[in-house]
Amino acid sequence: MQSRTRDIGPAGTACEDRLSVELASVVAGARRRAVRDGDRQVDTAHLLHTLLEADPETRRVLDGGTGRVVRLLGYLVQRAIGYGLRWSGTAEDSGALPVLADSRAPGWSPPAAAALERAYARARARGAGRVAGVDLLAALARDRDCRAAEVLRRAGIDPGALATGFDGAHDHGSGSGGGGHGRAETARRTAMSERDDGPVIG
Parse the chain into domains and list their residue ranges: 12-194
Residue 178, pLDDT score: 46
**Assigned architecture for domain 12-194:** Orthogonal Bundle (1.10)
| 56/119 Cα distance (integer angstroms) | 17
pLDDT at 168: 66
User: What is the distance between the alpha carbons of residues 131 and 134, in angstroms, rounded to a whole number?
Assistant: 8
User: Which of the residues in the chain have pLDDT under 70?
Assistant: 1-17, 94-105, 168-202
In the prediction, which pLDDT does 20 show? Answer: 84
For 188, residues 6+ apart whose C-beta sits below 8 A from its C-beta are: 60, 61, 62, 64, 162, 165
Q: Please report the pLDDT score of residue 22 as a whole number.
A: 82
What pLDDT is stored for residue 145 in this prediction?
92
pLDDT computed for residue 11 by the predictor: 42
The model's pTM: 0.76
Identify any residues that bridge with 42 across adjacent strands, giving them in sequence order: 108
Q: What is the pLDDT of residue 46?
A: 95
pLDDT for position 185: 54
